[in-house]
Structure 1
Amino acid sequence: MALRTRVTELLGIEHPIVMGGLTFYGRAELASAVSNAGGLGMLTALTQSSPEALAAEIARCREMTDRPFGVNLTILPTIDPVPYDAYRRAIIEGGVTVVETAGRNPAPHVEDLRAHGVKVIHKCASVRHALAAERMGVDVISIDGFECAGHPGEEDIGGLVLIPAAADRVTIPMIASGGFADGRGLAAALALGADGINMGTRFCATAEAPAHPAIKDFLVANDERATNLIFRSLRNTARVAKNRVSDEAVARLSAPGAGFETVAELVSGKRGREALVSGDVDGGIIWAGQAQGLIHDAPPCAELIARIVAEAEAIIDTRLTGMRA
């Protein structure tokens, strides 16, 4: 069985489930497993050290799946310039058909990507940004509720309100993001007006996720309370897993006038990557959302996606239908 939506039709996928653009995790092993299971796997461009490395990873992923997969291109303010144009060229020349943009304004990339037949998903944390992206010409909106891992914006609107608020005004296909981990969430997202879901934290706890088993056990053991919001005072809020490092980052930034330099060594990407590889759950920042409270195992992606779709179908076909008088 499969749930057919505007997203499955547009992106050429079997199930309306998209893998989030995951720093460190967004490599061929996990992306291909999600795609082979009928979802849309996602490589993360900036997880690769250069555009040339991304091109090689795209080729490696294509050897592991014959189904569609995408590339996340997150546009961030950085100290050292990032060759975004070269990353975009690697995506186009690699024959990738879907790109997820996130972060800053994607306008410099959208026209070129679409001119080469690439479908563009843009991740937004507010309705007004979603409408701006739609006017810009993107193909799909991924609307990101406050429950999410990563950057939920500064307006603190949860998905239960944000998703239908966006659906009321956005006319192009829309993916619901933030807090999704099971079939109940997929059924709810469809009921709220979305055409599919985006899952990040949930895919970090799967057999194919390229992290140490201790990290997966950590995510499974955590509940929905086990996150911290860091960088709040800097107006760059980020939701991460609660551990000693993120606790310390919150404490340091609570001091009057504290700036990013007070936590730079705590939150460095290098330190976080080392933690994920070594399995040291207190070794660095571990990105995770409130969906941790819905994660109870770390199965293969094929098992997880089949379970989610079957659960959603059962809810739609049996539970909800059975409530009608």
Structure 2
Amino acid sequence: MRTRFTELFGVTHPVAQGGMQWVGRAPLVAAVANAGGLGFITALTQPTPEDLRAEIRRCRELTDAPFGVNLTILPAITPPPYAEYRQVIIDEGVPIVETAGANPVDHLEHFHASGIKVIHKCTSVRHGLKAEKLGVDALSIDGFECAGHPGEDDVPGLILLPAAADQITIPFIASGGFADGRGLVAALALGADGINMGTRFMATVESGIHDNVKARLVEAGERDTNLIFRQLRNTARVADNAVSREVVEKLQAGAGFEDIRDLVAGTRGAKVYETGDLDEGIWSAGMVQGLIRDVPTCHELITRIVADAEEIISSRLAGAVGFGVGVGVGVGVGIGATTS
């Protein structure tokens, strides 16, 4: 299954594992790469730029396939040393970077000068068009269903993806709400060149988070998330637990960020993944957890997604329109040529 995404980034399958704080580490990223997908180490999960260097080298010991690094740029009173993280990525010869958060303009020139391709994550068409104008190589378009920060427009993927396909000319992958072959086919049909999954990759064997978290993802339904920080215009989708419910209640009652700072501390969220105490802190989960029913290896997951997608295209869809093999071939050729 060839798309502009697989051709641009030199991977076998149009499936990506995007950056995830505390989750995007070498064993998971290498497993995705070895399965033919594109995985991203999360730069800021590493405490220092030198720790990132070590993690990149660790990943290279586990795979010969392409992988990338996610660099999320967020406003902060004391921001991380982004330029130092960026220089490590360049020095280590990482071929692909996923940027997210703020405008990546300050980093693009440096990455492109070193031959690094940049995927920028956006939650709206207008932001995607701006990033395209800045010169990013590809986009990840994040729908309202996603874990993490869905933006403030609340536009789900069923609308956002075709709206993006109508205006954006560079390759883009669909993010938010994807877990299986049905989602991959839908994303391609809506104009995307592949899919990006976060929550689904959390529930895999190689994901380094506690088994209690994986079990909760398998057990949870699509309604078991909460939107926090809505009143602060910094909306985030997280797992429904005692802490996220308390945060929602306090903000609805008029609390400010200082009143909830301790509840949402990143160190508490990291402990959830380490200890398996699901109410220790805030942790990310998308609505797609309602489609997660097992904890496979990354190879099993990606192989299944692609096989199911091919079966849907060649059999179910072809049969639905009544033209049999002819339509199956036509769809296959269409996807091979372009998906937008």
Q: SS at 2:321's partner residue?
A: coil
> What whole-Å deviation, never above 9, does each CA across 1:134-153 have from its counterpart, x for those lacking one?
00000001000000000000
Residue 279 of structure 2 aligns with an amino acid whose one-letter code is D
Correspondence list, 1:10-159, <5 A: 10-159=8-157
Matches within 5 A, 1:191-202: 191-202=189-200
Q: Which residue of 2 aligns with 1:186?
A: 184
TM-score (norm 1): 0.98
In structure 1, runs of 5+ residues without a counterpart are none
Task: Give the alignment partner of residue 164 of structure 1, picking from 162, 165, 172.
Answer: 162
* Partner residue in 1 for 2:288: 291
Match of 1:311 among 296, 308, 311: 308
Which amino acid in the other structure matches residue 45 of structure 1?
A: A
Render the CA deviation track for 1:76-105: whole Å, top value 9, x for unaligned: 111212111110100011110000000001
Corresponding residue SS for 2:167: coil
Moved more, 111-120 or 225-234: 111-120
1:264 aligns with 2:261: yes
Amino acid at match of 1:34: V
Note the residue ranges of structure 2 that are not aligned, 5 or more in a row: 323-340
The structural deviation recorded for 1:298 is 0.7
For residues 238 and 164 of structure 2, the distance between their equivalents in structure 1, rounded to whole angstroms, comes to 25
Q: Distance in 1 between matches of 2:282 and 2:34?
A: 30
Give the corresponding residue for 2:298. 301
- How far 1:312 sits from its partner (Å)? 0.5
State the SS of the aligned residue for 1:67: coil
TM-score of the two chains, using structure 2 as the length reference: 0.94
| In the alignment, structure 1 residue 217 sits paired with structure 2 residue 215 | yes
Letter in 2 for 1:217: A
Q: Distance in 1 between matches of 2:284 and 2:81?
A: 25
The number of equivalent residue pairs is 322
Aligned-partner Cα distance in 2 for 1:260–1:311: 45
Give 1:41 shift. Answer: 1.0
Equivalent residue letter for 1:304: L
Cα drift, residue 237 of structure 1: 0.3
Q: Partner of 1:262: helix, strand, or coil?
A: helix
User: Hey, what's the Cα distance between the residues in 2 that align with 1:185 and 1:146?
Assistant: 15
Please give the alpha-carbon distance, in whole angstroms, between the structure 1 residues aligned to 2:250 and 2:20.
Answer: 26
Shift, 1:20, TM fit = 1.4
Is 1:321 matched up with 2:318? yes
